[in-house]
Structure 1
Amino acid sequence: MNHYQAAIIGFGKAGKTLAAALGRAGWRVAIIEKSKAMYGGTCINIGCIPTKALVHDAQTATDFSEAMQRKASVVELLREKNYLNLANLEQVEVIDGHAEFIDAHTLKIIAEQGTSQLSADRIFINTGAEAIFPQINGLSAGPRIVDSSGMLNLSSLPKRLGILGGGYIGVEFASMFASFGSDVTLFDTAPQFLAREDADISAAIRTILQEQGVKIELNTTVQSVTSGSDSVTLHTAQGDRQVDVLLVATGRRPATQALKLENAGVATDARGAIRVDNQLKTSVDHIWALGDVTGGPQFTYISLDDFRIVYDQLLGKGRRTTDDRINIPYSVFMTPTLSRIGLTEAQAREQGRNIQVVSLPVTAIPRARVINDTRGMLKAVVDNHTQQILGVALLAADSHEVINIVKTVMDAGLPYTVLRDQIFTHPTMSESLNDLFAQVKSQRRPSEG
């Protein structure tokens, strides 16, 4: 049985980056991945990269088949690059197969060629997350009922696309496929669309989607599903709905069920997420968990920061923790993009904060006129006492770039006036921050008379 200083289960962002770093530091490392199609992890193969490539091509009038071919070539290139980045390191061994725990230091590897075992001083779990299919009669994965990964492997554009679930994944695919030309209907059990967002932001998103041709059916419970050879029928209290393909976008859960964590004594919560401390250690001292498998925010950049935290423990000063994370931004790559950071207006008011709320229509931004996309709005929440930015929502073209500027200011604890008075290039979407924050009324403190 081969022994390693580190065994990493999963080829995701955190795992692959850690394997390379430890290998270069002279550690003997094994990284185990159950699928050759997943070298590089979720982002490269079935997440960020392929979806954003399709979002781009959907806006450039690219034929769907051509867009899928380009997506496949981009993914294949990056997957191969990620594999070679590790396989070419002398100290790192890439092992194909499914890993499960025998005990806290020993893994069983189940591969096509047979079963083997390995042991390691330290083990790092980076198995990501998997799609959830709700318990609805007749709802099971197949050629016409797919999760987000299945959507990325469609051979032809569905004329009628149904999306079960009105969250961010559903919204992103709805916008993308409507742009390609599908007749899209989004079904959600919730009475309010995108309830996590402020009402004005969710209303603006809904308007944009509807202008793209997306139909949104709220308060809709799917009672059962019938899948035929050329269509899928959703049976609801409001009547039957027929589509060609049904995307199930009802959430994702940590991929831990097949790891046999109980054999190692690794604790999980009720959702199957691995319990970790602020340095990502599990209930077993020499086992860590990184990325989506911990049940935290499912973003590639969080996985990268997980790597930094663990690497700092192993070969650094041991100071980094998850407590260092503040103001985590996110973007939903509908068209135009929704980008958010910090508190919503509703959250700030619930906390009893003394705030000002300002907004700006995208129609007021010169760059938006130049690129001929004036849809959306910008919104900011500012603390009247500290003059610091509490939260921002940007529903606008290129907002996924602009939100990072806001994060830098918020993390530094700087006042909103930094963005109000900043010198930006022109014409850009970034300079809209000047106009957005210029609307904040200066608040005199009592000591200032």
Structure 2
Amino acid sequence: MNKFDAIIIGFGKGGKTLATELANRKWKVAVIERSKKMYGGTCINIACIPTKSLAYQAHQGEDYIEAVHNKDQLISSLRQKNYDNLNQNENIEVINGEASFLSDHEVQVKDAGETKILTADKIFINTGAETVIPTIDGIQDSKFVYTSTSIMDLKELPTKLAIIGGGYIGLEFASIYSQFGSQVTVLEGSSKFIPKEDRDVADAVLQTFTKKNIEVKLNAKVIGMKDVKDGTVISFSIDGAIQELKVDAVLVATGRKPNIEGLNLEAAGVEVTDRGAIKVDPSLKTTVPHIWALGDVKGGLQFTYISLDDYRIVRNDLFGDHSHTTNDRDVVPYSVFIDPPLSRVGISEEAAVEQGLEIKVAKLPAAAIPRARLINETEGFLKAIVDAKTNKILGATLFCAESSEVINIVSMAIQTGQDFTFLRDHIFTHPTMSEALNDLFSQIK
């Protein structure tokens, strides 16, 4: 039996950062990872970094096969760097294998027929999330169905690609593969396109997709699929009418769920929510006080920067004044890396109206920004929502080039309680996309 001060299950962003923190405090730490291809976690290996690598190269007009090769080299390098960062620390032991609880202090690790039993005073679960595979006739047997992970390993560009699910992950892949040259069809079961966004934003994104020959079919209920010689035929219904679509690749993008399978949480007394996520309090403690959960496995927003903040919360809980909790996350920005990227922070116009708030709305076309014209990326617009009574910024949606950078400026202004005049009158460098915030907020009277 191996005794540690801390066991971390999962090599994700929150877990790996915490491991270094604890090791630097002279804790003896075990980091368990079931796959050697997942050192560093979801973001580095199968999500943020590889998808953004492909998105960037597609935007630059790179050849698909070369782009995949470049992506693989990048991921391999980052994965090795992450492994070395932990493995070379004398206080950290990286252990490969499947982890499962034996009790609230004991974890069993199985790998290639070998079993180890580890014990620790404190345990941290950082096992991430996994793709949800819907119940569709023929989906399990098809040779042409891929997840967001496996499709990026295709060495040949699909001629015709169907994406089941019109959420943000599906839209990113639609944009990427369309730019590489695939004929893309998105099958979305809802009657509303990106329902969390305002309708003017959703309409603008849909128009942009249409210009790029990405077909979006709403109210599309996928019934089944059947493989043929060189692809698969998808059957789906729209308003009761059955249609068929033949493609040579299908991407399943119907969401992700917390990865708790095999952990045997019951043995530790760790409870889960009705959505299958590990139940945590604002300090990320589970229902067992000496066991914490970080990252996607606890449910909620699935972003690597949330996992990093989870680490900060746990660090503060262990060594600080317990002041930093999940209750501090009123303002979290996000970006969807379509072309141009869609970024948002705070509430939408529709949400503000539903809450009965008195608001002022400003909009600015991207074509009015000198930087957008300079780089020849004039698609989209910027939109801001301001509280008419307090002059506080309630939210902003940026559908324009470089919005993933600019949105962080708006986020900080909201987080620090600035009036809209702060961004209206701020001195930005020129020519940049961020200086458009001057013009956007100048429209608020």
Which TM-score band (shorter chain)?
Answer: over 0.9
The residue type equivalent to 1:182 in the other structure is S
Matched with 2:135 is: 135
C-alpha distance in 2 between matches for 1:319 and 1:110: 38
The alignment partner of 2:49 has SS state of helix
Matched with 1:435 is: 439
Note the C-alpha offset of 1:326.
Answer: 2.2
Note the C-alpha offset of 1:24.
Answer: 1.0
2:293 is the counterpart of 1:289: yes
Note the C-alpha offset of 1:230.
Answer: 2.4
The 1:417–1:281 alpha-carbon spacing in structure 2 relative to 1, beyond 3 Å, is same
Equivalent pair of 2:226/2:232 in contact (CA under 8 Å): yes
The alignment partner of 1:352 has SS state of coil
Deviates more, 1:264-273 or 1:83-92: 264-273
Query: What does 1:75-154 align with in structure 2 at a 5 Å threshold?
Result: 75-140=75-140, 143-154=143-154
Deviations, residues 335-385 of structure 1 (Å, cap 9, x unaligned): 100000000000000000010111111111111000001000111110011
2:389 is the counterpart of 1:396: no
C-alpha distance in 2 between matches for 1:112 and 1:19: 25
C-alpha distance in 1 between matches for 2:77 and 2:327: 36
2:427 is the counterpart of 1:423: yes
Structure 2 unaligned segments of length 5 or more: list them.
Answer: none
Equivalent pair of 1:257/1:272 in contact (CA under 8 Å): no
Output the TM-score relative to the length of structure 1. 0.97
The alignment partner of 1:103 has SS state of coil
Note the C-alpha offset of 1:420.
Answer: 0.5
Compute the RMSD of aligned alpha carbons: 0.9
Matched with 1:444 is: none
The residue type equivalent to 1:126 in the other structure is N
The alignment partner of 1:221 has SS state of strand
| Equivalent of residue 389 in structure 2, options 385, 390, 399 | 385
2:319 is the counterpart of 1:319: no
Equivalent pair of 1:141/1:147 in contact (CA under 8 Å): no
Between the aligned residues of both structures, percent identity stands at: 51
Deviations, residues 59-79 of structure 1 (Å, cap 9, x unaligned): 111110100000001000000
The residue type equivalent to 2:193 in the other structure is F
Matched with 2:252 is: 248
Matched with 2:158 is: 158
C-alpha distance in 2 between matches for 1:362 and 1:291: 35
2:320 is the counterpart of 1:345: no
Note the C-alpha offset of 1:141.
Answer: 7.1
Matched with 1:305 is: 309
Equivalent pair of 2:341/2:403 in contact (CA under 8 Å): yes
2:259 is the counterpart of 1:220: no
Matched with 1:32 is: 32
Output the TM-score relative to the length of structure 2. 0.98
Note the C-alpha offset of 1:272.
Answer: 1.0
C-alpha distance in 2 between matches for 1:12 and 1:202: 32
Deviations, residues 165-206 of structure 1 (Å, cap 9, x unaligned): 001001100001000000000001111111110000000000
Matched with 1:266 is: 270
Equivalent pair of 2:284/2:310 in contact (CA under 8 Å): yes
Equivalent pair of 1:267/1:283 in contact (CA under 8 Å): yes
C-alpha distance in 1 between matches for 2:140 and 2:148: 14
2:278 is the counterpart of 1:278: no
Note the C-alpha offset of 1:399.
Answer: 0.3
Matched with 2:366 is: 362
Note the C-alpha offset of 1:142.
Answer: 5.5
The 1:34–1:140 alpha-carbon spacing in structure 2 relative to 1, beyond 3 Å, is same
The alignment partner of 1:418 has SS state of helix
Matched with 2:16 is: 16
Note the C-alpha offset of 1:316.
Answer: 2.4
Matched with 1:44 is: 44
The residue type equivalent to 1:139 in the other structure is I
> How many residues of Structure 1 are paired with residues of Structure 2 in the alignment?
441
Equivalent pair of 2:331/2:345 in contact (CA under 8 Å): yes
Equivalent pair of 2:142/2:232 in contact (CA under 8 Å): no
C-alpha distance in 2 between matches for 1:172 and 1:180: 13
Deviations, residues 151-176 of structure 1 (Å, cap 9, x unaligned): 11111100000000001001100001
Equivalent pair of 1:105/1:120 in contact (CA under 8 Å): yes
